[in-house]
Every structure is written in structure tokens, then in C-alpha cells.
Structure 1
Amino acid sequence: MRKDPRDLRILDPAAGSGHFLLYCFDLLLAIYEEAWARQDGAPSYGPTGQTLHADYPTLEALRRAVPALILRHNLYAVDIDPRARQICALALWLRAQRAYQMHGLKRDERTMIDRVNAVCAEPMPGDAALLAEFAATLEPPVLGQLVRGLFERMRLAGEAGSLLRIEADLRGAIAEAKRQWRERPTYMQAGLFGDEPLTIEQVGLFDVRAISDEQFWDHTEGMVLAALQRYAERAEDGLGYRRRLFADDAASGFAFVDLCRQRYDVVLMNPPFGAASKGWKAAFEQAYPRTKNDLYAAFVERGLALLHPGGMLGAITSRTGFFLTSFQKWREEILLKAGRPTIVADLGYGVLDTAMVETAAYVLEKNDG
């Protein structure tokens, strides 16, 4: 099914300086113009229901808008190195300026680039005291507990990067809090005839006593993320600096969480390979039991999970996963079950400038199941 180009999302989960996304930028320039020219039966943009041609009646109007549209809607990057993230964002911004120049648009005719979705996977800013002070202001109290839990989990982001399943952690914590809320009569009855109020330890992990309506749980994830964004921006302001290249980007820690919650049409990668770092090793092996023998295998598993059904993953990695017995689960359960290979090229040596490793390039289509 065709999509409006503004609904396409492409992610590089280990982006470095963004080479893959620069190639994607050039391809998207052509995709936008082809979609604009196809007026009959053109798909509409999800949030507005408008077609590309309706929003940009002339080709000149489209060309003024497209570079900013690509950076705002289409391209997403994650890296654990803040310098690499900055270089990636700058490279994409410069590529947008070149597109404007290519169409002869002067500076005052160009749409302002105010957002680049290049995120550094890093812990949330601030410290424990600031977090505790902020969390204490949140009502009901379970929101503060969820925010603190997510904050603690984010401490691994600098080592785990995109492999940190932060969105699954949040949903799991909310599900556990909801379970405790549904079972609350059990522990509430224990304090009916006592003189002392129930402690949090008596209640359980989450303080859900102030919640009276089950509909609260339908909106909990959004409330936690909104609170996390407020905290992140407050913490960064308090530190006296901004880890943002453009004015309306979210703070880095929150932006990483938000990026992990989305689903993508394409994931492209040349991920790191080898063993996990010591600080992340135990959590890594627990999170990726099928692919824990090598980081690149886990990145492929994670990349497929981040795709829409039918989405495409493209990777250049070591070729060892295609024949070593230690990668049997990766081949059987990831390549052939979670995905479906469409192209495989055995490239050998000489492809990666910085690593003497035999490589393979391949494309997987995510299965619908």
C-alpha cells in the first residue's frame, strides 16, 4: 500500500555520522516529487488527511518545503557518541541546504530547518536529588514512581544505545502497576481496622491508592512521557546548557525514549559487532537470549522489532552469522521467522574501512506475524 511520503520513517539505530541517511535524503527528494506528480489516487498524510499536492499546489512550493519535511518526518538516527550525533545532524542540515541551492532558492526563500531527528542515546540529565524533587510533585504518586523507574533504566542508554528496549520497560512497569491496582482490595482490607496508615511497602511496589477510574491506565504512558519531557528540559536548563542543535528538539533523554516508541518502514544499519561492554553485559544477555553472542545479531533482532509489518531492514555486518553454529538461533528465529531474506550478498574483505572483517550485505522483510 502506498503512503504519503510524509508518513515514511527511516531509522539508522547505530548511525555514526549518518552516511546511510544522506543517501536516503537524496532518494527521498525524488520520492516526494514523484508522489506530488501522481495526483490520481494519491495517498493522504495521516495526521491531516491532506494529499501532498493539496498542501503544496505548485512544484516550487514543494521544493521549498521538502528538505525540511524530510528532516522532520522521514529520517531518524541514534548513536551513543554525542560527537557522532552532532556530526550526523550537521551533515543532514548541510545536505538540506544543498538541496535548496540545487533548486536556486535563496536564503530568504528557504523553509527553516528547525528539527533533525538525530538522537544521542544517553542517560537522562540531572541527578537523583533533582529527580526526587520533581517526582514528588507528580500526581497521582504512581506517576512519580514510573518516572523514577524509567530514569533509572535510562542509565544504561549510553552503553546499550538502540538495544535498550526502553519502551517495553515502560509498558511492562505500567502493566504491573495496573495489575496491582486491580488487586488493591487485598491489601486495602489489611488496613481497614488498623490505626496506622498503609505504607508503600505494605501496598506493594506502586502506590496506586489515589486511582479510582480504570480509564486512567489508558493514558498513563502519555502522562509519564509528558512528565519525563518536562523533567528533561528542566534538568537541562538547570545545568546551564542545551544538548540540542535546533530550538524545538526535545531534550536528548526524552527524545531517545520517544524515538524507541515509534515504528519504522525502513531500518538501515552497519551496527557494531563483538561482545557487549562489561557494564551492560548481564542486562544485554537477559534482553537478547537468542542473539547474545554478538552485538550485530542483536541489532538485527532489535531492528526487525522496530519495523512495521512488511517493513524492510538493510544491514552490512560480519558474514559469520550465516554459517557459524553459535548463530543457529539467529538464523532460524530471526532471519527466517521474524523476517524473510530478500537479498543476500557475500562481500568478503575490503568493504569496511575501519575493520578487517569479512562482511555480508542483506535485506530482510519483516513478517506480518
Structure 2
Amino acid sequence: MDKNSIKNFAIWARNQLRKDVIYKARLIGITDKGIGQALPQSVKGLQIFDIGNQNTYKIDADQIKQREMLISVLNKRKAESGYEAAFESIVEEVAYTWFNRLIAIRFMEVNDYLPSGMRVLSAAGGKLEPELVSRPFDSGMTFSQPEKNRIAEWKDKNQSDELFAFLFIKQCNDLNRILPGLFEKINAYSELLLNISYTDTQGIIYKLTHDISEDDFKEAVEIIGWLYQYYNTELKDETFALLKKNIKITKERIPAATQLFTPDWIVRYMVENSLGRLWIEGHPNDALKVGWKYYLDEAEQEADVQKQLEEIRKEYRILAPADIKVIDPCMGSGHILVYVFDVLMQIYESQGYNQRDAAKSILENNLYGLDIDDRAYQLAYFAVMMKVRQYNRRVLNEHIEPHLYAIEESNDIDRKLLQYFGAGMAVKERQTAYAQINNLLDTFKDAKEYGSILKIGDYNWSLLKEFVEKVDKKGFLPPPDTLFPETLPQPDLLPMEFIPLEDVQRKIKILVATGQILSQKYDAVVTNPPYMSSSNMSTKLNNYLKINFKAGKNDLFSTFIEQNIFFTKKNRFISMITMHSWLFLSRYEIIRKDILDIIIDNLVHLGAHAFEEINGEVVQTVAFSLRKTHLKNYNGLYSRLIQYSSELEKISHFSSSLFICNQEKFNNIVDNIIAYWISDKIFLIFKDFKSVGDISDSRQGIATGNNDMFLRFWYEVKMVNINLIANNQDEMNGSGCLYVPYNKGGSFRRWYGNREYVIKFNKNNYEKLLNTGNHLPSRQYYYCKGITWNDVSTSLFCARYIDNGFIFDAAGPTCFYNNEYYMLGYFNSNVFQTFLNIICQGLHYSTGHIPNAPFINKYEKNVSLLAEKNIKLSKFDWDSFETSWDFKRHPLV
């Protein structure tokens, strides 16, 4: 697959489609500045607009209605977000609608999936004129006599693009019969704003059919996902640029900011080790398993663990293929669901099903998917339906609705219209349904903020479906807290022609179906969730997580770990790929404990370069498969691939870089860090030895809040203004000189040195610092000797000795211990670095990490002597370096 061509096309296509939409809107007097009026010479059934340079643009009666609908939608959105944002949302919506349909039709025509078997965008043999334009009446579509006349007129006048635009829209509407989830009945204004040509060699049709190879579309549904991700590239860049300006990610931008297309081999790993494991453990089948390249056999277990597993597998043995429910709650463009379909097809066939029946059953019984993004839903729906079509040519005509939905909001549903629902139901049942529907609508308010993490209560789903299905404009529902006899007179109703019941019914049906999916349990949950730190979230989303997801609130990926555990049936499987920070960072300790309460069957520590870079940043990831059951002393299998720098290297070492680790061992490490790669000896050290924090005190120092005001290099200041002898608490009130020596981290240097700064610390500046920054913490340790290190390091840990007389910075935290020489030697040892490599997976060596390392005081005398010697050598080296500076003094005070 030529991803460069796909990427270049998708990015270009979004911009081109947006330009085309803006251009067509301008022709009818609508711009990002406002809505213009038609010229005075307009008449009924014909509106004329001034487009500049003494040129005009005309629209007829049907187009006038389409323009009125566009204006209505603009005004409605304007009330919510302002006019410019409303106009932008329309442009984006229309552009992606046509993009999705164009690539769907291209996929279908290349794979000969269109009902007519006729190409819509191209022709065989490299002809420029599409087959649909050459032979429209062979397409199988029904044309009225006026339409036939128009087609003949366009052909006579050689108006090829006008004919093509008409036929393309006609084809999209016709495909609504078999693919309603993607080819919905087109909003009138979407049709009005379409600007399309096949003759323009710089247009989107020509680029789509010429810039991307047909081979990339043939049976490769994966291309849909790549096109979707690349289409969002610039929107994602804009979103991250806004973050740098401290503008939080809004619900409209969540999909672009968080969507990542999952590499195929990782999808296979997740599906094979969740759905595949569920089936194989209950129905052993070597022929099936041999085709699953990324399936990991279970590690050897102790006898009592193996016995418990056998009891669990008895549950799996009674499962039939149609019993298995699999969900991807963050389905994106459907890549995971497509491979789930493939594995389910293999399972069905192993049980004697033919492909046609299996495909239909999978669609009806097995697959579930949700996403926050309407665009992603459309493409996931299309990808799944194309996979079904691959095995069953007739299924598209059977009108089976897959269990796939975009999360919808209830905000715009007029609840007064609920009085028309539930016609013919008994009064009590109708009132129960009314109350439950209202509660459900409350839950789905602002649902685009939350997506699949919505918490759904208990509902009678069959009752709600009945209530929504039975609609009668003559119906009336009495207040839910009163039992009215059905014979009571009915109040005046809204004029029937103004009641949009079909639209409201459709929306509520989707909310009911989505709510049911969110409330039920699954045999396998497989997903690549969004990654978004709480610091980048909107206030509304942040508050929701604090209330509903206390364990997973720090990032959306950890939120989905918590939610997916809820989604999963007991003894069933969860498989995900997330950022790897939950393995070790202290802020994920609670979610880590939740995971350790169940089983980590296996885990693939991917590290960097498993994905493309996001906004210039390398994403560090981990894929894993969990089983929702608790077995003490379970041995998990762990593949460590962080040392490999490319996707191909990681794939080639996937099954050879393996560790077996008893899950109970993680309880011996501070914060339950998932340090699966360490030896039994190191586990025992963590378990049996005291920590550094038990025998010493590690402190963070000053953060001035304004370094430019308070700090200077020592060579910028007259030496007489620096207090070099301060060594007790009496000096703390600033009664001495203006400056005192200041320790502030600095470059990588061990043993001694980085004595570069001084800080203003007389009485006046002391008072300022006391009320700014972090308010002079750890004052009892000012001027005391100790061991300091760099809080941030891109390489190894480096510790240095500091004499009496220094104050220390937040970037130069300090440890205080009664034998500084030994602690310094220990800190700079390979042994200590080994412990830090477990505790500090990142750039920070903070006072939250260092005290958690085990403290070993073996060979204390020898280590102390060695450290003292190294201090002297390093001091000589630093003093020589310091005196070699030939700076002119610049007294700044």
C-alpha cells in the first residue's frame, strides 16, 4: 500500500472539498461573514445573486428550498456557537460527507460491489468519461421522464460535468437502499454545495482515480482507515497548536486529536489473544491457531492455577459461535472490527457453517461498535458491510442493520413530542416508558463530550423500543406522575404539519440502541482508545471523569481501561493498545491495582515507533490482553520490544523477546509497578529492603516563579555581594549579603560541580519569595550539605555533593542523610540506576521517585572512601573549569 500517495491525496482532498463548498456557498450569497440577500430582480421560483465583476448566479425553485434549509441550519447553529463557527461546521460537515461517499464508491467500483456492476467514477481501459456517464440507462436506476429529458439535453449540449454531478447524486441516493448508514438521504444543502467534475484534471475525481493505485483498493478495507486518519492530519495539527496556546480540546476536535489508525499486526495480536483465545481454550483447534501469527500460548502455570483455569474453560466449551459478543467502543474507521469479522468467520467455518450464513450471523449476533465521531462511524459501517459483502453477495439487499453507532446527543430533541409516542400501550407501561426515555435523554445530553464512557442505568429496553416504535400524531401521553383514564379529553396538539416525528423517532431509536449497547456485557472488548491527558480536556469532560472514573481519570486511555473492565463479562477478555505510562507512573497506581485484581494474560511492550509520530511526538505504547478473573500466582507472558526502533524489528522479535512473570510479584514493588522484566533477586530486594525514603529525607527546593528576577550567574555579580559563609538558620532571614549560592541542577555531571547560580536572598527578596513561586519549601534544610541531582535528565541519573552554604532549587532536589559520602556513592552506582530504571520510566527523577528505591548499605566504608576520592577529583576538575572562565564582571545590582 502506497501510504504516501494516500496521505497526500487525503490532505489535499479535504482542502479542495472545503474550497469547493465555500465557493458554492458564496455563489448563493452565503459566506463566513454572513448571509446575503438575492438581487431585487429575483422572481418567484428564481433567485439571482451578485458574484462580482458584474456576474450573477441563478438558482431555481428546488435549489431555493435547499438554500432555505441551509440558512435554517446555520441560524440554529449560530445560536449555539456563533455564526463563524456555524459556517465552519457546515463546511467541514459537507466536505467530509462527500469525501466519505467518494472513497466508498471508489472502493465499491474497483471491487465490483456496486449493484449495477457499472463504474461511477472511472471506466475500464483508462477512458476519462465514467461508465455511468456513457451509459446511464444501463445502471439499473429508475429515471423519471423529466430526468430522462434533462440527461438527453446535457448530452446534446456536451455538458458532461452537469450530467455527471446529477448522476453521481442519483447514485448516492440509490445506494441508500443497501447502505443507509453511509448513503443517508442527502441533506438538501449538501447537494446544493457539491461542486464536482470528472473533466477537471486538477479535481478530486481525477486525483482519486489517478493518484491512488486501484490495487490499494482491491479487497483492502484497511485503506479506508488510512484515508480517514490522513484526512484529519491538518485538523489534528491545528488542535495541538491550540493546546500550546492553552486552548483545551473541544468535543468537536476530540476525534481529530485522538484518532490513531492501529497497525495491522497489533490489531491481529489483540483480536487473536482475546476472541481467539476465548474460542481456542474452549474448542482446541491447531489448524485455526496456526493461522494466528500473533497468538501467544499461555505460560506454564502452577497446578492449582491450572486447575482453576480448567474450570473457567468449561464455560467456554458450551459457547456456540453466535453466542459470542465482541465490541470495539472506540471503533474509529472499523479496522479492529474487520479483523474480528475475519476471525469469527474462521470460527464459524470450523463449526461447519458456510460463508454466506456465517457472514449474516456475524452481522446479526456478534459485532458491536461505537464511536464519538460521525465520520468514523460512516466509514466503520462501510468497512464492515464491505466485509460482509465479500462473503455474502445478497446480504446488502436484506437490510440488516449492524450494531454500529455514532454516539448521538439528545440536546436538540423536543421532549414535548414524546406525547405522540407509545400509542396503544397500556397507561402504566406508557408512563414507565415515558419516564425512562426522559432519563435516557438526560444521560445523552452533551454525549459528544463523553462518547462510550457514558454511564447507563437500568432500563427496560424492550419496553422502550415498543414505546418509540408506536407513534401516532393523534396520541397523547398524560404527565408521568399521574394515572389518567384513557377516556379523558385530549388537549390541543401542535399543528400536524410542523411535527417532525420521523426525525425525532429516528434519533430516539439510535439513543435507545446505543444505550443498550453501553449497558450490556461482552465476551471480548477490543479497542485502541483515545489518548488525551486530563490537562488537555474541557472542564465538562474533566469533571465528568472525576465523578465517574476515579481510577482512570488521568487520561482517556486509562478511563477506557476502567470502562472496558465494566463492559466485560466475568472470565472474559479485554484487549487494548494504550500509552505505556500506566505500567509505572504513580498517577496510574489505582488503575494498575484494578488491572492486577484480574489477570494479565499477556502483554507486548512496544515502546516508541509502533505508530507514526503524532504531531512530531513519538508515542510510547503497550498492547495487552486481560482476563476478567482473579487467580493468585498467575504467570503472565510479556514481550519486551522497546529496544527495537522500527515496526519491522518489533514484528520480527515479537515471539522471541519473552518474559514470564508471576503477577503477585508486582505487589512487592512500590506503587505496584508492572516491572515484568526484572529478576527474582531484584523483586526480593524491593520486598525485603528498606527504601531510601525510610532512612533519609529527599526534598524539593525553591521554584521562584520568576528566575529572571531572582537568579544570576555567579560571574555576573560582585563577589562582595555574595554570602559564601551562610551555614545556619540565622542566615535564613536574609540578614546578610544580597546573594547566596544556589544549586539548580544543570548539565549531566556526577560527584561535584554545577555551582553556577546565586539567588537574591536579602530580607526584602526573602519576603518576596515567601509569597511567590512555591513559597520557600524545606527551609529547615537551607545551607545544609547534602546530595543533589538533576530532576530532569535525558540520560542516566547523576548525583553530586553540595557543601554547606547553598540553597536548592526545584530542579535540583536534594537528599539529606547522615553519611553523605556513602549515599552519593550509592546514588551514582549501576545498582541504583537499575532500581531507577524500574521506578522512573521517563525523564523525571523526582522526590516522588528517589525515596522509593531500595536502600542497600553493604560495603558502606569502601563506597564512602571511593565517593570522597571522586568528589576531590571532580572538585579539582570543576574548580579548574570555573577559574578558566574569562568573563567580564557585569554587576547588575
Task: Say yes or no: TM over 0.5.
Answer: yes
Other-structure match for 2:447: 157
Shift of 1:29: 1.1
Match of 1:341 among 595, 600, 618: 600
Q: Say which is worse superposed, 280-289 or 24-33, in terms of deviation.
A: 280-289
Other-structure match for 1:22: 338
Other-structure match for 1:33: 349
Match of 1:365 among 622, 627, 635: 627
Q: 1:229 to 1:322 in 2, by over 3 A?
A: farther
1:241-252 equivalent positions in 2, closer than 5 A: 251-252=509-510
Match of 1:259 among 517, 520, 525: 517
Instruction: Give SS of 1:144's match.
Output: helix
| Unaligned 5+ runs, structure 1 | 37-58, 101-106, 172-219, 244-249
Instruction: Give SS of 1:155's match.
Output: coil
Alpha-carbon distance in structure 2 between the residues aligned to 1:273 and 1:63: 37
Shift of 1:326: 0.3
CA contact (8 A) 1:135 1:148 kept: no
Q: Does 1:272 align with 2:272?
A: no
CA contact (8 A) 2:377 2:404 kept: yes
Other-structure match for 1:122: 408
CA contact (8 A) 1:10 1:266 kept: yes
Q: Does 1:68 align with 2:360?
A: yes
Alpha-carbon distance in structure 1 between the residues aligned to 2:415 and 2:388: 40
Q: 1:164 to 1:240 in 2, by over 3 A?
A: closer
Shift of 1:353: 3.1
CA contact (8 A) 1:264 1:308 kept: yes
Q: Say which is worse superposed, 275-284 or 8-17, in terms of deviation.
A: 275-284
Alpha-carbon distance in structure 2 between the residues aligned to 1:170 and 1:154: 14
Other-structure match for 1:227: 467
Shift of 1:236: 7.4
Aligned residue type for 1:127: D
Aligned residue type for 2:525: V
Shift of 1:72: 1.2
Shift of 1:145: 2.6
Q: 1:70 to 1:108 in 2, by over 3 A?
A: closer
Describe the superposition over 1:121-175 as per-residue Cα deviations: whole angstroms up to 9, x where unpaired: 1124632332466589983345423321221111132221111011xx346xxxx
Instruction: Give SS of 1:251's match.
Output: helix
Instruction: Give SS of 1:344's match.
Output: strand
Q: Does 1:238 align with 2:502?
A: yes
Alpha-carbon distance in structure 2 between the residues aligned to 1:354 and 1:230: 51
CA contact (8 A) 1:147 1:228 kept: no
Describe the superposition over 1:39-80 as per-residue Cα deviations: whole angstroms up to 9, x where unpaired: xxxxxxxxxxxxxxxxxxxx5xx2221111111111110001
Q: Does 1:309 align with 2:309?
A: no
Q: Does 1:300 align with 2:561?
A: yes
Describe the superposition over 1:267-303 as per-residue Cα deviations: whole angstroms up to 9, x where unpaired: 0011012224333322221011111111111111111
Alpha-carbon distance in structure 1 between the residues aligned to 2:395 and 2:419: 47
Alpha-carbon distance in structure 1 between the residues aligned to 2:588 and 2:396: 50
Q: What TM-score, normalized by structure 1, do the two folds share?
A: 0.68
CA contact (8 A) 2:421 2:467 kept: no
Other-structure match for 1:177: none
CA contact (8 A) 1:64 1:111 kept: no
CA contact (8 A) 2:576 2:623 kept: yes
Aligned residue type for 2:626: L
Aligned residue type for 2:609: G
Aligned residue type for 1:273: Y
1:166-177 equivalent positions in 2, closer than 5 A: 166=456, 169-170=457-458
Aligned residue type for 2:601: T
Aligned residue type for 2:595: L
CA contact (8 A) 1:291 1:330 kept: yes
Aligned residue type for 1:330: I
Alpha-carbon distance in structure 1 between the residues aligned to 2:553 and 2:417: 35
Aligned residue type for 1:362: F
1:50-65 equivalent positions in 2, closer than 5 A: 62-65=354-357
1:133-148 equivalent positions in 2, closer than 5 A: 134=421, 139-140=427-428, 141-148=431-438
Alpha-carbon distance in structure 2 between the residues aligned to 1:358 and 1:230: 51
Q: What TM-score, normalized by structure 2, do the two folds share?
A: 0.29
Q: Does 1:326 align with 2:587?
A: yes
Shift of 1:317: 0.4
Alpha-carbon distance in structure 1 between the residues aligned to 2:464 and 2:426: 10
Alpha-carbon distance in structure 1 between the residues aligned to 2:470 and 2:557: 34
Aligned residue type for 1:307: T
Q: Does 1:80 align with 2:372?
A: yes
* % same residue: 26
Alpha-carbon distance in structure 1 between the residues aligned to 2:629 and 2:439: 33
Describe the superposition over 1:294-353 as per-residue Cα deviations: whole angstroms up to 9, x where unpaired: 111111111111111111100000000111000000101x2111x211111110122233
Alpha-carbon distance in structure 1 between the residues aligned to 2:467 and 2:586: 46
Other-structure match for 1:8: 324
Describe the superposition over 1:208-258 as per-residue Cα deviations: whole angstroms up to 9, x where unpaired: xxxxxxxxxxxx564345435658xx9975338967xxxxxx932111011
Alpha-carbon distance in structure 1 between the residues aligned to 2:563 and 2:367: 18
Instruction: Give SS of 2:450's match.
Output: helix
The CA RMSD measured in Å over matched residues stands at 3.0
Q: 1:143 to 1:76 in 2, by over 3 A?
A: closer
Alpha-carbon distance in structure 1 between the residues aligned to 2:338 and 2:416: 41
Instruction: Give SS of 2:605's match.
Output: strand
By relative contact order (CA 8 Å, sep 6+), the higher-ranking structure is: 1
Other-structure match for 2:766: none
Alpha-carbon distance in structure 1 between the residues aligned to 2:399 and 2:433: 34
Shift of 1:260: 1.5
1:173-184 equivalent positions in 2, closer than 5 A: none
Alpha-carbon distance in structure 2 between the residues aligned to 1:134 and 1:110: 30
Alpha-carbon distance in structure 1 between the residues aligned to 2:365 and 2:394: 22
Alpha-carbon distance in structure 1 between the residues aligned to 2:464 and 2:341: 33
Alpha-carbon distance in structure 1 between the residues aligned to 2:463 and 2:375: 31
CA contact (8 A) 1:135 1:145 kept: no
Q: Does 1:350 align with 2:609?
A: yes
Q: 1:113 to 1:128 in 2, by over 3 A?
A: closer
Instruction: Give SS of 2:550's match.
Output: coil
Q: Say which is worse superposed, 267-276 or 107-116, in terms of deviation.
A: 107-116
